[in-house]
Homo-oligomer: A and B are copies of this chain.
Amino acid sequence: MSIDRLIEKIKEKNNPTVAGLDPKLEYVPKYITDEAFEKFGRNTKGAAEAIWQFNRRLIDSLCDIVPAVKPQSAYYEMYGWEGVCTLRKTIDYAQSKGLYVIADVKRNDIGTTAEAYARAYLGDISLGEGVTATAFNADAATVNGYLGSDGILPFLSFDKSIFVLVKTSNPSSGELQDLKLESGERIYEYMASLVKKWGEAHIGKHGYSNVGAVVGATYPEELTLLRKSMPKTYFLVPGYGAQGAKAADIAAAFNGDGLGAVINASRSIMCAYKKEGCAEEDFAKAARNEAIGMRDDIRGFM
């Protein structure tokens, strides 16, 4: 099972964290953007090259520390199809360095369209005459369950993992997710029950399902409740670092086996060089130090 591969990488590195790769151009050191724009012009092709060079060096510097990376698709799509080309190159490169790749795409659609997204991010596509190809070929993807089973089941046709949005980390997540149903359950709790049901037939040898959940570290009470109610669901936990959650907040994301969650940090790692005020040429080293600090911080609470 795909989730077993993630768990094994987490165990191997004794590190339940994932580095988010959300390469806004303003995060990229100037010497890299200058070089890219000089080569390709100040256009989306140049921007795509800059974020590729940034990612490549971050991956080189992080690949023996973290088990996984999570590219956030928006920051590639923002630079058009050239940016999307960098997304594919980033996924391939990260996998070549032994990393598990979670494509943070939050896709959602119905029936055949959900199947198209599933094939795009996790599966393969047929080009006729027996020829197949892969579009992005990630190990896992984030998905939104507002459309019900039709939008989820097509993603389970491959042995890959998904993380369904349950309780998101943002300030307004409660506007819909916290509403109480007639039954007394809140919407996010009901979504959690759907996630459990979808995951039942996809449980791997470590006891966790290929169907995971996104649960923000910024809501530690909800995180604690959800951890108890869905023991076989792996959590992808955003909110650590720049969004304000501390290691103590996320301790509740783990089960007694020390597994069950992978904690994401993006900006705090990518922009560590800015916070530390070191030379921009040392950005990858600063990111590495930050990732090590985060690992040790979280280990300390487990």
Contacts from A to B (Cβ < 8 Å): 22, 24-25, 33, 37, 42-44, 46-47, 72, 74-75, 77-85, 87-88, 106-114, 116-117, 119-121, 125-129, 131, 133-136, 144-151, 165, 168-177, 179-182, 184, 187, 190-191, 194
Contacts of A121 in B (CB 8 A): 77
30 contacts between A and B (CB under 8 A): A37-B127, A43-B127, A43-B131, A44-B127, A46-B127, A47-B127, A74-B113, A74-B114, A77-B136, A80-B84, A80-B136, A81-B82, A81-B84, A83-B135, A84-B84, A106-B109, A108-B108, A108-B144, A108-B165, A110-B170, A144-B144, A145-B176, A147-B173, A148-B172, A148-B175, A149-B172, A150-B173, A176-B190, A179-B181, A179-B182
Query: Which residue of the partner chain, among B87, B145, B176, contacts A194 with CB atoms under 8 Å?
Result: B176
**Number of copies of this chain in the oligomer?**
2
Do A170 and B146 touch (CB < 8 A)?
no
A120 to B114, CA, bound (A): 21
* Residues of chain B within 8 A of A169, CB atoms compared: 110
Contacts of A107 in B (CB 8 A): 74, 106
Residues of B within 8 A of A116 (CB): 24, 72, 74-75, 77-78
> Is B44 a contact partner of A133 (Cβ separation < 8 A)?
yes
Contacts known (A74-B107, A81-B88); A128 close to B42, Cβ less than 8 A: yes
B182 touching A128, Cβ below 8 Å: no
Q: Give A249 Cβ to nearest chain B Cβ, in Å.
A: 17
Q: Are A148 and B177 in contact (CB-based, < 8 A)?
A: yes
Residues of B within 8 A of A181 (CB): 179-182
